[in-house]
């Protein structure tokens, strides 16, 4: 039994950590939907009503993630002090986070699909959303940077740095709204370009601020500087993640992630500038680059999550093999569920006549949800004890990649979807097996270290 004072203090820590994150996430999701509405320039009551539902669904989803992700490390830390409770708490934590994220995630997903369907019934709406995608290509790095800085800032600093990044992101969104409102929603003119520019400026301001805070300020906890990571905000951020997690920054990791972020940042920017009138060609190239970047990012996430370092394992797993096995079983059930849900979702989208531009909005939104989960758990890793990042990173990330690859191969290259599914399932099972073996090996190593430590203390 935990003492009431301890529980009360933990409760305060959860509230202090989760509340600003939840408010920030909710504001981001609401502003994102508002951008789409402004671009669409629609006064239809159905669109307005569904947009409110979408905003509320995503806000609830992100609020739940904020509270659960803030509480899990505290629970695991407390459970580690009592080996008898470790297995129970670990399994409970896994069940809670999977249940909450699945429930509210499905609510958000289906309300978003319905909203996208309403947008796709009009050709002008489709063009408007296509323009929004192009501007979002500018904002994608800014959003990734925002989530990453939020996770690191929450872990290392409680003095207001995160609030400043939130403010910068909010200003960028407001600037984007203003620029969109002064531009024709279905033209590819300076409104979309200016909105994207606002996102990019915000990301660079946040990058420079974070660089000063982490490397130059008296409060800095990091003394290693990689000059070559300054060029791309996301690449520099990922390298910092590697450093903080104790993962060696090898040339291969640097090149792979650099190439992925080149695709997601530079190529869409060039496409938007050069192909500003030929939107079909530009959209296809941007979609391909985004899909490839999803694959690279998910592969790196799975690599980090599959026990590359000691910090990527829930501390309760060290004491309980049954907890690890149950968590693995839950992950496999999620994979089977995704195998069933994904083709149904594809068929629904096809029947509803959604264009490829609408589909890629859904993919980007899904990947943003993965980024939220991934960076939230990473922040918990940095600031508290271990968390369940391996289970999430090795299940959710690869399937977002699978969705992107399916659309890339079947819609653009026109290859039979059955062949694609067979290849994806074989590839996923192979990679999952490697991850499981790696994680199991690391858990055994952790148990050995704990046993040796206990023996040394006894002596």
pLDDT winner (highest mean) among 55-59, 260-264, 291-295 = 55-59
Q: How confident is the model at residue 24 (pLDDT cuts 50, 70, 90)?
A: very low
Can you give the residue range of the structural domain that contains 141? 4-452
Residue at 415 is within a domain: yes
292 in a domain, yes or no?
yes
Tens of pLDDT, residue by residue over 375-390, are 333 333 333 233 343 3
- Asked if the structure places residue 209 within a domain, the reply is yes
Residue 55 has pLDDT above 50, yes or no: no
Indicate the pTM of the whole model: 0.24
Would you say residue 458 lies in a domain?
no
Q: Determine, yes or no, domain membership for 45.
A: yes
pLDDT digits (tens, 9 = 90+) for 88-133: 444 444 444 444 444 444 444 444 454 555 555 555 445 444 444 4
**Element of type H or E holding 204:** helix 190-211
Instruction: Using the predicted structure, report yes or no on whether residue 77 has a pLDDT greater than 60.
Output: no
pLDDT reported for residue 119: 52
Quick check: is 459 in a domain? no
**pLDDT tens digit string along 399-418?**
444 444 444 444 444 445 45
Name every residue whose Cβ is closer than 8 Å to that of residue 135 and which is 6 or more positions away in sequence: 176, 180, 192, 193, 195, 196, 199
- With cut-offs at 50, 70 and 90, classify the pLDDT of residue 259: very low
Region 129-147 average pLDDT: 41
Give how many domains the chain has, as a whole number. Answer: 1
The 3-state DSSP class for residue 388 equals: coil
Decide: residue 410, CB within 10 A, 0-12 exposed, 13-18 middle, 19+ buried. Answer: middle
Output the 3-class SS for 241-292. HHHHHCCCCCHHHHHHHHHHHHHHHHHHHHHHHHCCCCHHHHHHHHHHHHHH
- Give the pLDDT of residue 196: 41
In a domain, 457, yes or no: no
Asked if residues 108 and 62 have their Cβ atoms less than 8 Å apart, the reply is no
- Of 92, 29, 35, 111, residue with least CA distance to 63: 29
- Is position 74 within any domain? yes
CA separation for the pair 22, 33 (Å, rounded): 17
Across 51-73, average pLDDT: 44
Residue 459 predicted with pLDDT over 60 = yes
On whether the CB atoms of residues 115 and 379 are closer than 8 A, the answer is: no
Asked whether the predicted pLDDT for residue 326 surpasses 60, the reply is: no
């Amino acid at each position: 039994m935990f003492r009431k004072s301890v529980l009360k203090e933990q409760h305060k820590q959860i509230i202090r950590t989760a509340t600003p994150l939840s408010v920030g996430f909710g504001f981001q999701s609401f502003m994102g939907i508002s951008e789409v509405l402004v671009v669409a320039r629609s006064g239809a009551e159905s669109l307005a009503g569904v947009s409110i539902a979408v905003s509320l669904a995503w806000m609830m989803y992100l609020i739940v993630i904020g509270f659960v992700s803030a509480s899990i490390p505290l629970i695991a830390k407390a459970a580690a002090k009592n080996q008898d409770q470790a297995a129970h708490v670990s399994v409970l934590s896994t069940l809670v986070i999977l249940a909450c994220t699945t429930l509210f995630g499905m609510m958000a997903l289906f309300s978003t699909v319905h909203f996208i369907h309403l947008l796709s019934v009009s050709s002008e709406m489709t063009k408007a959303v296509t323009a929004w995608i192009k501007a979002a290509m500018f904002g994608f790095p800014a959003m990734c940077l925002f989530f990453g800085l939020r996770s690191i800032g929450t872990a290392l600093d409680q003095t207001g740095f995160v609030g400043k990044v939130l403010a910068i992101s909010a200003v960028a969104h407001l600037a984007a709204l203003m620029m969109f409102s002064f531009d024709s929603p279905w033209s590819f003119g300076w409104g979309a370009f200016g909105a994207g520019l606002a996102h990019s400026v915000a990301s660079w301001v946040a990058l420079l601020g974070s660089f000063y805070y982490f490397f130059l300020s008296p409060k800095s906890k990091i003394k290693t500087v990689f000059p070559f990571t300054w060029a791309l905000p996301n690449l520099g951020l990922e390298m910092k993640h590697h450093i903080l997690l104790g993962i060696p920054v090898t040339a291969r990791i640097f090149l792979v992630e650099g190439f992925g972020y080149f695709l997601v940042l530079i190529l869409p920017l060039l496409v938007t500038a050069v192909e500003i009138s030929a939107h079909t060609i530009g959209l296809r190239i941007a979609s391909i680059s985004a899909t490839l970047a999803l694959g690279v990012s998910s592969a790196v996430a799975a690599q980090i999550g599959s026990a590359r370092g000691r910090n990527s394992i829930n501390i309760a797993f060290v004491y309980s093999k049954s907890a690890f096995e149950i968590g693995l079983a839950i992950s496999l059930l999620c994979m089977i569920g995704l195998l069933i849900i994904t083709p149904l979702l594809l068929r629904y989208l096809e029947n509803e006549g959604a264009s490829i531009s609408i589909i890629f909005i859904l993919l980007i939104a899904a990947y943003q949800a993965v980024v939220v989960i991934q960076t939230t758990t990473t922040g918990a890793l940095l600031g508290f004890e271990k968390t369940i990042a391996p289970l999430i990173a090795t299940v959710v990330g690869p399937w977002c990649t699978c969705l992107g690859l399916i659309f890339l191969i079947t819609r653009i290259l026109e290859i039979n979807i059955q062949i694609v599914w067979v290849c994806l399932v074989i590839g996923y099972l192979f990679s999952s097996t490697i991850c499981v073996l790696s994680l199991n090996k690391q858990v055994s190593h952790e148990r050995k270290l704990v046993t040796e430590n206990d023996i040394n203390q006894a002596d």
